[in-house]
Structure 1
């Protein structure tokens, strides 16, 4: 699978308005764990956080959630979206202030969330049940004639299920007419993870790299892969390209971008590491 990272001039809104891919898929980073994926047939968002709702929520308590980077695109400038995927219920991944206005603009769009969090998603957004599709680990959902997604487990420090046995944290393996994109969701390594990822045969993996700490865990903030863990898992699963993300949004829970770049430069072997960046179209 050919891969290219292409810098574009102007805003993301202008780039998206300029045209869609005729083949393959194009990916754009939206900050934190958010991505837009476009194949020309179908356009998806994963974990978009395009508001400042967490800054308002934590204005006078806890860790500051002021954005370190502005949204790369305004909701009003988004092109038509077919599906939004949320990996779990945390607001930087399932943001009512982002999801609701997008759903208002595109009523035919559907929001795919873990079955364990359908109720939470409705509460966050105020949207009716017809707006949502619930999915659980090991389930596959057809997105169109050539496109589908398979959900897998994620361990946002823990593998958790609700009282009905549905997983709270998911990753998504997209098969978009043979272009395979894997978004792990927020996760750390866990037993069985490698075989689940290998079965999806990703061409590219979108992995968080902000790591975790006891101090944050004690404050109720679960962590993710360290940079080294993300690279190790990708290499073990023979994934050609890794986009490192989940950094640069909140000052209390990030990693210096220079560390990602240094790791990428030092890597040898078949797996290529890149830091997710604004102003870049990642093309497969």
Structure 2
């Protein structure tokens, strides 16, 4: 993936282009605007765990450096875990892109400021409060990272984003488990982007807060009648991933007619 390939992508007025950055990171182009979601474009996690730890070593190179993304209009973070709000990535983006606005859950705003992003460039997001960002309308939705977490003001610490690009709707859940009422909030979206790496007792004992699993992702897509299911959070770190074959097996067992796309790192997909 190169900056030139992204900028030279030709689209109709109603098409969107999705570029996969790894983990849950996506760059979305719609008309002449660029929306960056959960960019993790460093090796912060590797360094934290120790570069020789096989479970926490990137399985592929960074698709594009944050310094090259000086054209991005909006940067979204779903929550403040490193693989979704990476200090190295956000600091580099802020330094090399003077126009980008950073959209983050209200309770994590101070954390993002501490990474070197000026407060004047940050927009607080709250569940249900619609945002108009260029030609895209965005509705934040509460995300349950195993559970729903709120601050003292009742604002959710983790969010997903329902995004309307003309007649096409996309939901990027961030890290999320299914909870009562989620399906109703995202019913009818065209593109459903959700994690599939699951959760479990031993993961939680190792401070790995979990997500929905592959079966749940497939059944959620079926329930809301998503046109396209995009699995996330399965490929970057062996210590918290999932075999793609297992996801495909679940899909063909529970909803064989469901359209899906499993991205390769750096891939472009036009919807």
> Please, what TM-score do these two structures have when normalized by structure 2?
0.93
Deviations, residues 87-146 of structure 1 (Å, cap 9, x unaligned): 0010100011001111111111101000011011111x22221120001111111102x3
Aligned with 1:33 (options 24, 29, 32): 24
Give the root-mean-square deviation of aligned CA atoms.
2.0
User: Residue 135 of structure 1 aligns with which residue?
Assistant: 125
Quote how far apart the aligned CAs of 1:218 are: 1.4
Q: Deviations over 1:174-201 (max 9, x none)?
A: 1112221110111111111111111xx3
Q: What is aligned with 1:173?
A: 162
2:218/2:251 contact within 8 Å kept: no
Cα deviations by residue, 1:36-68 (Å, 9 ceiling, x for unpaired): 100122101100000011111222899953211
Q: In 2, Cα distance between the equivalents of 1:69 and 1:216? A: 23
Q: Which moved more, 1:205-214 or 1:273-282?
A: 273-282
Instruction: Find the counterpart in structure 2 of residue 113 from structure 1.
Output: 104
Higher alpha-carbon deviation: 86-95 or 274-283: 274-283
2:239 partner SS: coil
Cα distance in 1 for partners of 2:252, 2:268 equals 20
Q: Would you identify which runs of 4 or more consecutive aligned residues in structure 1 move more than 6 Å?
A: 60-63
Tell me: CA distance 1:242–1:60, structure 2 relative to 1, closer, same or farther (3 Å).
Answer: closer
Residue by residue over 1:193-212, the C-alpha shift from the partner in whole angstroms, topping out at 9 and shown as x without a partner, is 111111xx311011100111
TM-score normalised by length of structure 1: 0.89
| Alignment check: 8 A CA contact 2:222 2:255 kept | no
Give CA deviations for 1:154-185 in whole Å, capped at 9, x if unaligned. 10000010111110110000111222111011
Alpha-carbon offset, residue 219 of structure 1: 1.9
1:157 to 123, 139, 146: 146
Contact kept? 1:261, 1:274, Cα under 8 Å? no
Distance 1:282-1:60 versus aligned 2 partners, 3 A rule: closer
Return 5+ residue gaps in structure 1 as ranges. Answer: 1-10
Question: How far apart are residue 280 of structure 1 and its match?
Answer: 3.2
Equivalences for residues 80-99 of structure 1 within 5 A: 80-99=71-90
- 2:233 maps to which of 217, 242, 246: 246
Q: Which moved more, 1:225-234 or 1:18-27?
A: 18-27
Alignment of 1:162-201 (within 5 A): 162-198=151-187, 201=188
Residues 19 and 274 from structure 1, CA distance in 2 versus in 1: closer, same or farther, beyond 3 angstroms? closer
State how many pairs are aligned.
270
Gap change, CA 1:44 and 1:239, over 3 Å in 2? same
Quote the residue 2:44 is aligned against. Answer: 53
The range that moved more, 216-225 or 228-237, is: 216-225
Q: Would the alpha carbon gap of residues 156 and 63 (structure 1) be closer, same or farther in structure 2, given more than 3 Å must change?
A: farther
Structure 1 stretch 21-30 or stretch 73-82: which is displaced more?
73-82
Answer whether contact 1:264 1:272 (CA < 8 A) is retained. no
Separation (CA, whole Å) in 1 of partners of 2:169 and 2:247: 23
